[in-house]
Each structure stands twice: as structure tokens, then as C-alpha cells.
Chains A and B, each alone.
Chain A
Amino acid sequence: MNVQKLVWLEFKQHKSQLISGLLAITLGIAVIVGIRSISVVSEKAVAINLDNLGANILVLPQASNVDNYYSADIDAPTFPEEYVERIATSTIAGVDNMSPKLTRRITINGQKYVLTGILPKNELASKPIWQNSGLFGAELQASCGESPVNEDLGYKDEKLQRKSVDSLAMDDCMMGSSAAQRLTAKEGESVVIEGKTFKVAKVLSETGTIDDDRIFAHLHAVQDLLGIKDQVSAIEIMGCCNAISDGLLGKLRNILPDTRITTIGQIVSTQIQTNKMMNKVSFVFLIIIIFVGGISIGNFMWANVNERRKEIGMFRMIGFSKTIIYQMLLAKAFILGILGGVIGYIIGTAAAMWLGPEFAGLTVNAIPALIFISLLISIAVSLIGAIIPAYLAGKIDPFNNMQEG
């Protein structure tokens, strides 16, 4: 028997009460971890987007959300595929390449994937990161030279070197690395998507974006499969950089008035702002958790001290000093802090991993370093909350163990 064991035995005795004491701090930590996990991935995605995005103009339906470039087309409203032709046949100069897409979430064997219909040559031509997949044919060269102005817009000219895909059969598909892994699909094998059998023509290299969860198939096959005939949800355009500066976006808006036309730079800027906002939100939560979590722990500890007045009086009577009483209660708060930090981290990470792909279109992985921050915050808040109850516990008189006569 020692003081640590005594604390532990008492702790186990009242474990059901702990749930209410832990609730606020655990949820607070979970929210901070969840937001931080998503924003860290989102920040990385911004960097990846800047480096690897092929197309530099995105045509979307008017009602679509452009907070995240990679997920902007997912489940977006549609517009006619005929718009591609409208651009191609217009007199607008500076459109080097176009890639119409139709994207929808689908479920295969109970797991969610993103199915994207592409017109192969155009789509793959605009993705430099796929260049090492071995699918590509002739190299395309961007028609504009390097310009510092273009870097300000969010892309680098040297990245505008593309290769195109020669063909993608109507029953072929290509899989992002994560999707292939989850489906245990290999090149040359078959996979059933929405009742139709596709042959896996290629498994793509990992990109670190939601593209890893995508399955690409021919646009017209996807349209047939989803019953959305002659409609697309986005058109990626590789525009000549100088042409963008000369008002290409405005010209495109003139011929496609019911669409939303934006550049990668604008989308990435929106994403950076969202990330900043998420960081601010997590800071606000940090402040809230210090107050609510601290008060909650303090309230729990004070209730515990009141319930154990006779017991603490007994400890004092048999020689436990005030310092030992403080230590016992702060040790208890320390254990609460550890539990709150660990459980909060697990819940927050799990929520981010589950909700990240669902709502932000991002594949979120656990960030081990966050557990140390979670523990630090949780333990500090618990100890702060327990200071006053511990101080008052040291002042408890042992008199109520004696019978006045």
C-alpha cells in the first residue's frame, strides 16, 4: 500500500462518475484534434495542388462549391457536355486543352469510392503526376513561356508539360492507388462497378489527394452507368498563361453564362483561407476547453472531495499531511488528464478519418504528434481545474470522525 495505489483504488471505485467529469475535456480535445488533423492534410493538399495540378482553369456549374479543388466536381450539379464543343468551336484563343468530367460517389462492397468519367486523352493529359504511370503518348507542350505573373496565379509554368493518353476503352477503368488497394484490384483483373464489369487497365501512382480514391472510366461509359446522359460536372481547361492574363476567363464566361469559371489560384486561395479559418476555430476551441473542461474537472473533483470528506478527514487524522492530500487529488486529476487526452485524440482522429473524405474530400491519416499536444492540453486543464478542490480538501477537518462528548 502506498499513496499511488490508494489513488488508483479510489479511482477505480468511482469510475462511473468519471464519465461526466471526462466528457467536456474529451470532447474538447476530440474537436481540436479533428480540426487540426483535417487542416494539416488540407494544407498539404494545397501544396500538392500547386505542384501537381494540370489544368489551370475549371468550369463548374453555377451552384457548385469551390472550397476544395479536388472535390469541387464530386456530386456537383451538371451541365451539358455540349459546352466542350461550344468552347472548341469558339474563336477564343489560348485554350490549349480541355478535359470534361462527370464525377459521382459510388459504393462497392459497402465501401465508398469516387467514380470519375473522363475523355481519356484530355483528362490524363492535364495531370503531370500521372506521367510515370506509363499510359501516356505524345508529349504536349504548354504554349506559353515562363512568367512570374503566372506563379502569382498559383501555378508554375515548368509544370505545364503534359503527356496524353491514347485511349481508354468503354469497359476499361483506371484506379487510384488507395482505391485499388481497398478493392485488392490488380492490373488486368476485372471489377464490377454499379453492375457493369470493367477491366483494370492501370493502377495509378499515389498522389496524396482524393484522386487516390478515384476510379476513372470513360466519360460516356460513366454517363450510361449513372443515367446522366450527355452531362458533365466539370471541364478542366489548360489555358495559355498569357491568355489568362488577357482576359480568357471573361471570354469563357461570355459563352458559358450559367457556369462558374475559376482558376486554380482562386480555388487554392479559398482553400488557404478555409485552412486559416479552421486553425482559428481550433484556437477558439482551445480557449473554450480551458474554461469548460477546467470547470467540468473542477466541479467533478469538488463533488468527489465533498463525498469523501470523512475519508479525507481520516487521512489527515492518521498523519497524511496537507501536501500528501494535494498530491493525491492532483494525481487523480493527472490520470483524468491522461484519459481525456488519449480518448479525445482517438475520437478526434477517428472522426477526422471518417468525416475528412466525406465532407472535405481529403484522405486524413492519424497524426501521432497530436497525441502529445492533446495530452499536454488535457493534463494542464485537469490540473488547473483540480487546484481549488485540492486546496480545499487540505483544509478538511478530521473532526467528523470523532463523536463530541
Chain B
Amino acid sequence: MALKRRNFLKGSAALGAATGMGLPHIWMKNTALAQASNGEIKVGVLFSLTGTTGIIEESLNKATILAIEEINDNGGVNGMRINPIVEDPASDPATFAEKARKLVLGDKCVSVFGSYTSASRKAVLPVFEGRDNLYFYPTLYEGRECSKNVIYTGAVPNQQQDEFIPWLVEKFGKKFYLIGSNYIYPKEENNYCKKLLEELGAEVVNEEYVPLGHSEFSSVINKIQSTQPNVIFSTVVGDSVVALHRQYRAAGLDPEKMPMASLTTSENEVAAMGGEAAAGHFTSAPYFMVHQSPENEKFVEAYRSRWGGDKVTHFVSEPSYFQVYMFKQAVEKLAASDITPPNIREAIKDVELIAPQGRVLLERENLHTWLWPKIAMAKSDGQFEVLQESPEWIKPLPYAAYPDQLCAEDGLQQV
């Protein structure tokens, strides 16, 4: 670009004005918070569309986009459009951090919706904490995190297990076999499960972890056969869950006598392993596609008419959808010039709405969500049958397995 005299003068005039106002202005500009402008609210959408978790995260991206489109078609938020900026972090935590930085610093998004895995959430956390921005995380996860920069709309261990474990003990018996993939999520879930089992006077016959992607379960099945548990509590994830179910069935084990109880098997996993291999096993989650409610009917219909009639909704895509509406309710309380991440955080506390799973509430203490856990059994047609719904919504307790710690409004407390 040639340096024209006119531009040069303009540039130096601007520079002069800036220096005239003194240095603080430059610094202020640098740290100025992201905010809404030009009649639109910029948000980031950060789900992998490619890579190992691309398939599942694509469904979260679709649920998020659906909610944003619905809001914009119905007049936006206080007349302002939500402008989603979609990035593909390609299932790689380092790319997640890089794209998050781009969305927060470059695009000045006021909030970002994203992540499926805990690894990717941990990777973007420094970006959001450093800039005091907000990250909306829809996945059930292991808890034990207390950040004022993440809005958690998925379940934590106490919400999935408090009803589920006593129900299993009562229905099947007191001997539990804990099997999980070898990483943080299964270990934390099992920590809480063991705590509940101890209170119930139940017994853990074995606890073991297989490598991620493991697909040879014959030794595990031998151990299951020799220890004869009443329930196999499984937190195996990914393609391992398919191999485990198929080999369980090939070995002739009977779900009626020794069912697998899972926190991670959704309609997606059932489709991947085949209905026959999934039938008769149990999952606890706040949402199943078959849940009966007018809101869910609307959600499923809207999702299918937007993305295709054969698509399934599941317990991670549902929070991806309703958390955008929570964001909307929070922003509606703010004047256009006040739409900044810290203000949204204050405004979203105690926000309540009727989600497809039921009425949900954002807990002000720990920014997690009150949810409605349900116990369901997989059927051979690929859907679930809901057997029991929690009689009341359950408070999120991200430190439920650690009684001496508490996540409060001003951070993690020792008690």
C-alpha cells in the first residue's frame, strides 16, 4: 500500500489525538471488555466439526445454531440480532485455545458457546478467565471445577447419581463392578459413586480403567463373570463403549440379571452399537429424546425440520439448545451499552426457563444448573424408555464428592 499524504496526515492526527489524551487511553482500549455494538450481539460457537469428536460436537453446533436462528426470527434480543461466529477447533485442545482467543480478543464476542470434552474446556479456561469473558458449557462432566467464567448447563455427578445408585441397589443388589476409560471423568464419577455405595452399605467388587479407545474386553468380561456383580457401572466412553456392549452380548451375559448402568450412553451411542446390544441397559441423564413435554416436542420437531428428519437429539444437544435461551433472558435484562460478559454473568444468576427436559434454573452460587434427572432403559429400536423421573429438580453440587470443599459465589471455599 502506498503511503498517501492524505492518509498519512489522518493517521498522524489520530495518533496525536491519542497521545494528547495520555497513555491510559491506550491501555484502556486494550483491556476494554467485549460488548454489543451496531445493533447486534456477537457470540462465538466453538464446537469441533472435524476430528475424532466431530460427529457428536456437530450436533451441539446444530442445536446452538437452531436456538440462535429461532431467537433472531422472533425479533432477536431487545431488537438486536445475535450474530454467531462459528469456528472449527478440529477436536484438538490447542486449537480450541487458539480459536477461543480469536473469538474473545479478535471478534470481541460477549460470550462463547462450546466444548464437549473436559480437555477442551480446560484448554480454553485461561482465555476466558484472563479476559473475564463467559463460556457456556453444555456437557455433563465430572464436577470439581469452580470458575466464574463458565456457565455449566450439563449435569454434575450428584445430579446423575443421587437417584440412580439407590434405585440400582434396590432393584438389582449391592455388588457393583466399576469400569471406566482411563481419564479424569470416569475417576471422579466413580469417586462419587463409591461414596454413595458406602452410605448404602453396598460393595464395590472391582474398579478398573481401560485405555481410551480400548476394544478388547474379554479379560474384563472374565473378571465380571468370576466376581458376579449385580450391576456393572460403566463410564467407558467413545468407541470402547460399542466394543464393550457388543462383547458383553457375545459372551451371553444377561442385562436382566447383570445390567450395565451408564452415565454416558445416549441415543448416539445406542445408534453406534446397534439396538440389540444396547437393549436392557440403563442410563441416567436429565434428558432423553422420548421425554414427554410440549417443549420437547417443539424442540425435536424444530431440530428435525432444520437439520434432517432422521437426526436425534440427546442429553448434550438439549443443554446446547436451552443455554442459548438462558443467555437471551440474561441479556434482555441489560441495556444495549451494558452488554458485557461480567454483566451477563450477574444477570444470568437465577435465570429460570422451561427447557425440553423441564424447568431449569441457573444456580447463583456456582453457575451450574438445576436439572431433572431421569432413569431410562435402552430399547432395541434405538430409543430409551424413561422408567423414573426425579420428583424434584436437583441442585448442582460440583464438589459433592469432596465434603470439605464448596463452590460459592466468591470462589472455592474450604469448609
> Does A associate with B in a complex?
no
B residues sitting closer than 8 Å to A (CB atoms) are none
A residues sitting closer than 8 Å to B (CB atoms) are none
